[in-house]
């Protein structure tokens, strides 16, 4: 292995600096968004799992209102969605541009989606790596609902894919194809923000975003997932990829495909395309994420009784 200064700079230090710069950029952007929208750098944080354990051990006859102590933080969720939306626009359009111009880089039969590498694609992956590390930390610190498990799982899967392509020097453009899913994330995050700001679902703007969300989901998530599965089977039969890399790739692709299918079901249910009952259930789940944050925030008109119950509950929780 070449351990010269040039090799170490190109393969280790430069990628590290780019990913680190991306991480600090998105951290700074998060704080700027928080300050601009809410005049705060940080918000109060609690552990969802500790609260759940505490609730189970409390007297079951306690007033249910006092159990709304630590709901998801609506202000944090808004700022997180805005930063995620920015990353989706940047990475999704960047990946689309790279793949549209892919013929410029595949010059002969030996250049394939497995072997071809370009600086633009490498920088895209490193930028997204830094963002995902930022978002992973942000979720661990601030996310209070059970959805943290699936979100962190998704981040670990994608970060593993980024790491594999950097270590092996292969599959870079396969990863870029996977990043096409961020095109749909533009509308996913936009829809989430409209929900957080209580945009009416029967409004024209919401209907347009919902329609674009579903159509891009099919095109840039489900179709891309199907293409990646087809790519897996082709290389499994051809034997062009080492077996251990094939196993890793299979785990990554099928994990992402599963999460995409679950997410698509939720989107369809929330938009009422699977029946009114499922739509109401999805709406109720969304409201649970928002209700407590509004009760804990004077801006949203929490009652004095709720505030007192929350303060009392918090003081008891700290004594444990």
Rounded to two decimals, the pTM is 0.79
CA distance 169 to 3: 16
**Angle in degrees, CA 70, 140, 261, rounded to 5:** 95
- Give me the residue label for tokens 């930028």: 127
What 3-state class would DSSP assign to 274? coil
- Domain extent listing, the chain: 5-53+69-319
**pLDDT, tens digit, 9 for 90 and up, residues 245-254:** 999 999 999 9
Mean predicted confidence (pLDDT) in 273-285: 62
Residue from 257, 261, 264 nearest 215 by CA: 264
CA distance 135 to 82: 12
Residue 60 has pLDDT above 90, yes or no: no
CB 155 within 8 A of CB 136: yes
Tokens of 292: 């407590």
Q: What pLDDT is recorded for position 110?
A: 57
CA distance 113 to 310: 55
Residue 130 has pLDDT above 90, yes or no: yes
Furthest-apart CA pair in the chain: how many Å?
73
CA 310 to chain centre: 30
Report the chain's mean pLDDT, rounded to a whole number. 81
Residue 61 has pLDDT above 60, yes or no: no
CA distance 124 to 169: 15
């Amino acid at each position: 292995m070449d351990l010269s200064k040039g090799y170490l700079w190109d393969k280790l230090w430069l990628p590290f600096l780019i990913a680190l710069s991306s991480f600090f950029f998105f951290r700074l952007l998060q704080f700027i968004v928080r300050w601009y929208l809410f005049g705060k750098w940080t918000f109060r944080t609690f552990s969802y799992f500790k609260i759940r354990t505490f609730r189970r051990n409390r007297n079951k006859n306690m007033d249910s209102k006092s159990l709304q102590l630590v709901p998801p933080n609506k202000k944090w969720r808004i700022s997180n969605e805005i930063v995620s939306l920015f990353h989706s626009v940047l990475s999704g359009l960047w990946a689309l541009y790279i793949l549209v111009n892919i013929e410029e880089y595949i010059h002969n039969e030996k250049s394939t989606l497995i072997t071809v590498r370009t600086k633009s694609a490498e920088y895209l992956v490193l930028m997204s790596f830094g963002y995902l590390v930022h978002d992973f930390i942000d979720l661990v610190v601030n996310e209070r609902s059970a959805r943290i498990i699936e979100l962190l799982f998704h981040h670990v899967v994608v970060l593993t894919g980024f790491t594999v392509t950097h270590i092996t020097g292969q599959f870079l453009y396969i990863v870029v194809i996977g990043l096409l899913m961020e095109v749909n994330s533009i509308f996913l995050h936009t829809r989430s923000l409209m929900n957080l700001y209580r945009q009416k679902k029967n409004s024209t703007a919401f209907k347009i975003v919902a329609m674009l969300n579903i159509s891009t989901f099919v095109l840039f998530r489900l179709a891309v997932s199907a293409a990646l599965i087809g790519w897996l089977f082709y290389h499994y039969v051809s034997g062009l990829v080492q077996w251990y890399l094939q196993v890793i790739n299979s785990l990554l692709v099928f994990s992402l495909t599963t999460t995409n299918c679950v997410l698509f079901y939720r989107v369809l249910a929330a938009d009422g395309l699977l029946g009114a009952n499922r739509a109401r259930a999805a709406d109720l789940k969304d409201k649970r994420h928002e209700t407590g944050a509004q009760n804990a925030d004077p801006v949203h008109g929490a009652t004095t009784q709720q505030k007192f119950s929350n303060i009392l509950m918090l003081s008891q929780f700290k004594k444990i």
